[in-house]
């Protein structure tokens, strides 16, 4: 009977567990509130099952066991950091805690107290004894080679003369070790250009050995001392699979913080949860996160009122759905739409401007389109310069599409603008035509001067006309700097091995160059969604992400990076939420990675557009006749990326004596153009740090070098971009969706040149 009673009681307790607060090791070490007990399955209550056998004493009260003693909250000096790289020495004889905060409690002055940076249990600080390295001198393989002045090269690749440099792990080939002069390394005889090992190329082919320096071969230098067995054969032994390293614990996880502990802060990069615990999970960093005591997922932009929580009756078209995706809608490049479909799209946008706002009147929004702009305005920090850039705008653009269809009856494909087609003269694109979204702003007001949105009024953040200001005003009209061509995109994206590197590459440029190049409202996240080009641009960014996701199986669900533009710590998680601030449900990131995954996600993109000769017998005839001009180079018709073309194109080469054309040159009809650097004032307005700006500048130089190398291939008759003006401006060419057997420029570059180009310019700075 006793056993039966206990089991029945446990079953009853488990049956109501879902109603109880969670706790314990099963739930991120959460503590029970008040005097509740934490059961062996991690739920809070005062029942015998919760407080008896298996009760977790560390996380609440337990009958028959000592309850956890409350921690004495330290009294730190508010906002005063200390320690290496945080703030140095504490003022006023305060102690520096193990987590780098100044104070005078036992938590600061006891275990882990950093003596060099403050008083510890009454002992005055002692100055740290730093090693004496050669300042900023790296050494070893791939870092800097041999140390100067007979210094030692430590196992971590720094030059110096301390025991830490010259003792265990000292790299003898690259410096002196315990008095022994360096011995030159014996270079292996690799199989040409075949790398191996971690981060270099993985496993060697054909049973070759992977040397300690990361090259494949079959000599003693490859297969003997230092041979990397997991990545190839070693002295006849087949390779063994590598043992994955144990995860490195993150200092400070589950330490206490926040208002419950008088403002004690978390170590760098960690969030302080509502319950006062430091951590990196979604539960720590979103709802209730204490921003004064750690990093949090970005809050809505300050100075703007938050809309009410989402209700399906307010935005029924954006309600959650579990329907399977059996017939996805297809988004099309704007040139693939008929004139009637283009007109319908413009009328749909105007309809959203006429439809009344569904937000409260105190927000200042007048129309349903204003509601969209307001939501984007709120997301300034969340959706820019962080991992959320792509998933947030994916959901936002989907909301725009669903409102366009349900509120305004739009039934045609949602268009995107593939600006790489127009990259060599973007201001001449058909999107700026009077029959589509109009052109540049007026010289004296910046208000759109032509087309259906001329002098069009919007209301966020206050009533004003939609403004544009292209980058350059000239005698020939307004101009935008050259954008990225299909060849450049294919090259740089071929090196993005994970989501974070892809997101950073696409956001820095080309994403930013469109916003800066169009100018006006597009130049600021507060107003950018007012311009109808915004959704054409971001649908294309979403398409490029989808192409990258489909390029390798591992890319489809890849996600990571920094949660907050103010933090470089890469703790973003697929369980993080995509906040829509009342306009639709808040998806988790892992729910939005597959655009055909079902529910509200059931769409795709048409195939990549390719230039097609409308009259093959006439295409390039004039260029062919120019082949007799002195110094001309013929680019064969099998290379010229025009479908149905049988003529080569005569190119006037640069011959290496001239630089690539500048961003605003429009005279060169054959070559790709260099890019204008992003404006530094604009980058700082977008919260780019000094190190991030340095990254942008380094990568801008690399892309311009790629342009030079592609132009050299053009001058050798090996390549001609479909965006070259000789093709783009040819009246016999139009751009249409490619067929299965068509070779796209991206595929051609990826196969023929991408690897060689990236090897020449080096990896992008991340």
Tokens of 252: 């400070």
Q: Could you tell me the CA-to-CA distances from 570 to 556, 562, 565 in Å, in that order?
A: 19, 4, 11
- The average pLDDT across 373-401 equals 97
The yes-or-no verdict on residue 673 having pLDDT over 70 is: yes
Tokens of 556: 């489809």
pLDDT of residue 475: 75
pLDDT of residue 206: 82
Residue that is written with structure tokens 């006793």 in the block: 2
167 falls in which pLDDT band (50, 70, 90)? confident
122 falls in which pLDDT band (50, 70, 90)? low
Domain 316-605: CATH architecture, name and number where available: Orthogonal Bundle (1.10)
For 255-280, how does the pLDDT look when each residue is reduced to its tens digit (9 = 90+)? 999 998 988 999 888 999 999 999 99
Indicate the pairing of strand 649-651 with strand 633-635.
antiparallel
Task: Please give the distance of CA 318 from its chain centroid, rounded to a whole number.
Answer: 26
Q: What angle do CA 404, 405, 406 make, to 5 degrees?
A: 100
Q: Could you tell me the CA-to-CA distances from 3 to 12, 53, 231, 384, 534 in Å, in that order?
A: 14, 13, 56, 59, 67
Which strand ranges, in their side-by-side order, compose the sheet holding 415-416? Answer: 415-416, 329-333, 603-605
> Range with the lowest mean pLDDT among 111-125, 187-201, 220-234?
187-201
CA distance 396 to 538: 9
Cis-peptide, bond into residue 461, ω within 30° of zero: yes
241 falls in which pLDDT band (50, 70, 90)? low
The yes-or-no verdict on residue 239 having pLDDT over 90 is: no
For 519-572, how does the pLDDT look when each residue is reduced to its tens digit (9 = 90+)? 999 999 999 999 999 999 999 999 999 999 999 999 999 999 999 999 999 999
- Using the CB atoms, write b or e for 120-145: b if 16+ within 10 Å: beeeebeeeeeeebbeebbbbeeebe
CA distance 506 to 514: 11
The yes-or-no verdict on residue 66 having pLDDT over 70 is: no
Class in CATH terms, 259-293: alpha beta
- The average pLDDT across 98-120 equals 79
- Using the CB atoms, write b or e for 727-739: b if 16+ within 10 Å: bbebebbebbbbe
Tokens of 432: 């700026």
The yes-or-no verdict on residue 128 having pLDDT over 60 is: no
> Range with the lowest mean pLDDT among 136-145, 505-514, 623-632?
623-632
pTM over 0.75? The answer is no
Q: Is residue 403 a contact partner of residue 372, using CB atoms and an 8 Å limit?
A: yes
pLDDT of residue 623: 57
Of residues 496 and 83, the one with the higher pLDDT is 496
Per CATH, domain 76-117 is 3.30.60: yes
Domains 76-117 and 316-605 are alike in CATH topology: no
The yes-or-no verdict on residue 145 having pLDDT over 80 is: no
Of residues 467 and 67, the one with the higher pLDDT is 467
Highest mean pLDDT among 58-67, 173-182, 467-476: 467-476
378 falls in which pLDDT band (50, 70, 90)? very high
Q: Which stretches of 530-582 are DSSP H helices? A: 533-551
CA distance 585 to 395: 10
Phi, psi of 169 (to 5 degrees): 85, -5
155 falls in which pLDDT band (50, 70, 90)? confident
135 falls in which pLDDT band (50, 70, 90)? very low
The yes-or-no verdict on residue 720 having pLDDT over 80 is: yes
- The average pLDDT across 485-497 equals 94
> Range with the lowest mean pLDDT among 185-199, 515-529, 718-732?
185-199
Highest mean pLDDT among 56-65, 300-309, 335-344, 469-478: 335-344
- Residues with Cβ within 8 Å of residue 559, at least 6 apart in sequence: 387, 391, 499, 572, 573, 574, 589, 590, 593
- The average pLDDT across 226-238 equals 80
Domain regions of the chain by residue span:
2-59, 76-117, 259-293, 316-605, 609-761
10 falls in which pLDDT band (50, 70, 90)? very low
Of residues 612 and 189, the one with the higher pLDDT is 612
CA distance 286 to 586: 12
- The average pLDDT across 734-740 equals 94
The yes-or-no verdict on residue 129 having pLDDT over 50 is: no
Phi, psi of 335 (to 5 degrees): -70, -20
- The average pLDDT across 103-122 equals 80
4 falls in which pLDDT band (50, 70, 90)? very low
For 312-326, how does the pLDDT look when each residue is reduced to its tens digit (9 = 90+)? 999 999 999 999 999
Helix (H) or strand (E) holding 3: helix 2-15
Highest mean pLDDT among 85-94, 105-114, 397-406: 397-406
Of residues 407 and 218, the one with the higher pLDDT is 407
pLDDT of residue 656: 65
Residue 753 per-residue DSSP state: T
The yes-or-no verdict on residue 87 having pLDDT over 90 is: no
pLDDT of residue 61: 85
- The average pLDDT across 388-393 equals 98
């Amino acid at each position: 009977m006793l056993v039966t009673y206990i089991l029945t009681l446990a079953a009853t307790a488990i049956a109501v567990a879902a109603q109880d607060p969670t706790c314990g090791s099963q739930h991120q070490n959460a503590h029970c509130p008040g005097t509740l007990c934490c059961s062996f399955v991690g739920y809070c209550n005062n029942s015998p099952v919760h407080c008896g056998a298996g009760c977790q004493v560390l996380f609440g009260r337990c009958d028959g066991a000592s309850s956890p003693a409350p921690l004495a909250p330290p009294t730190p000096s508010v906002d005063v950091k200390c320690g290496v790289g945080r703030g140095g020495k504490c003022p006023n004889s305060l102690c520096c805690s193990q987590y780098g905060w100044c104070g005078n409690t036992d938590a600061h002055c006891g275990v882990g107290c950093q003596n060099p940076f403050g008083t510890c249990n009454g002992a005055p600080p002692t100055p740290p004894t730093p090693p004496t390295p050669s300042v900023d001198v790296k050494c070893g393989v791939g870092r800097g080679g041999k140390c100067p002045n007979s210094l030692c090269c430590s196992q971590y690749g720094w030059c110096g003369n301390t025991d830490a440099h010259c003792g265990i792990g000292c790299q003898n080939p690259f410096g002196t070790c315990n008095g022994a002069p360096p011995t030159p390394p014996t270079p292996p005889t690799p199989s040409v250009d075949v790398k191996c090992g971690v981060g270099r190329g993985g496993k060697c082919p054909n049973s070759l050995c992977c040397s300690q320096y990361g090259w494949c071969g079959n000599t003693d230098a490859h297969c003997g001392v230092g041979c990397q067995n997991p990545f190839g054969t070693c002295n006849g032994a087949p390779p063994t699979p590598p043992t994955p390293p144990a995860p490195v614990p993150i200092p400070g996880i589950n330490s206490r913080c926040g208002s419950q502990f008088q403002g004690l802060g978390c170590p760098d990069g960690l969030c302080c949860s509502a319950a006062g615990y430091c951590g990196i999970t979604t539960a720590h960093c979103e709802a209730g996160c204490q921003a004064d005591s750690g990093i949090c997922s970005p809050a809505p932009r300050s100075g703007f009122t938050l809309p009410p929580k989402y209700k399906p009756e307010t935005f029924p078209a954006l309600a959650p759905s579990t329907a399977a995706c059996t017939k996805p809608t297809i988004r099309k490049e704007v040139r693939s739409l008929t004139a009637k479909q283009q007109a319908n799209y413009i009328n749909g946008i105007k309809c959203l401007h006429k439809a009344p706002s569904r937000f409260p009147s105190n927000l200042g929004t007048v129309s349903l389109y204003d509601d969209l702009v307001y939501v984007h305005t709120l997301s300034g920090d969340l959706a820019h310069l962080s991992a959320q850039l792509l998933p947030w705008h994916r959901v936002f653009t989907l909301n725009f599409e669903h409102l366009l269809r349900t509120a305004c009856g739009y039934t045609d494909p949602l268009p995107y603008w593939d600006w790489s087609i127009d990259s060599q003269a973007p201001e001449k694109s058909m999107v700026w035509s009077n029959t589509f979204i109009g052109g540049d702003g007026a010289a004296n007001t910046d208000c759109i001067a032509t087309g259906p949105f001329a002098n069009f009024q919007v209301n966020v953040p206050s009533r004003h006309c939609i403004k544009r200001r292209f980058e350059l005003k000239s005698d020939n009209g307004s101009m935008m700097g050259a954008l990225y061509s299909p060849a450049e995109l294919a090259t740089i994206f071929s090196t993005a091995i994970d989501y974070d590197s892809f997101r950073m590459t696409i956001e820095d440029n080309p994403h930013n160059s469109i916003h800066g190049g169009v100018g006006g409202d597009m130049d600021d996240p507060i107003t950018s969604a007012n311009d109808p080009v915004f959704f054409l641009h971001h649908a294309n960014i979403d398409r490029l992400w989808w192409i990258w996701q489909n390029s390798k199986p591992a890319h489809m669900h890849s996600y990571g990076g920094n949660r907050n533009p103010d933090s470089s710590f890469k703790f973003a998680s697929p369980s993080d939420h995509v906040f829509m601030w009342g306009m639709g449900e808040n998806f988790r990131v892992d729910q939005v990675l597959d655009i055909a995954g079902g529910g509200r996600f059931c769409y795709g993109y048409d195939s990549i557009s390719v230039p097609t000769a409308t009259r093959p017998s006439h295409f390039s005839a004039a260029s062919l006749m120019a082949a007799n001009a002195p110094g001309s180079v013929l680019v064969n018709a099998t290379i010229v990326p025009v479908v149905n073309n049988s003529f080569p194109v005569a190119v006037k080469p640069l011959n290496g004596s001239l630089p690539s054309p500048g961003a605003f040159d429009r005279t060169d009809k054959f070559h790709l153009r260099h890019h204008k650097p992003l404006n530094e004032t604009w980058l700082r307005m977008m919260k780019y740090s000094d190190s991030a700006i340095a990254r942008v500048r380094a990568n801008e130089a690399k892309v311009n070098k790629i342009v030079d190398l592609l132009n050299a291939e053009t001058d050798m008759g090996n390549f001609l971009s479909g965006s070259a003006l000789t093709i783009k401006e040819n009246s016999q060419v139009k751009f249409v969706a490619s067929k299965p057997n068509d070779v796209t420029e991206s595929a051609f570059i990826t196969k023929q040149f991408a690897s060689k180009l990236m090897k020449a310019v080096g990896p992008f700075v991340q």
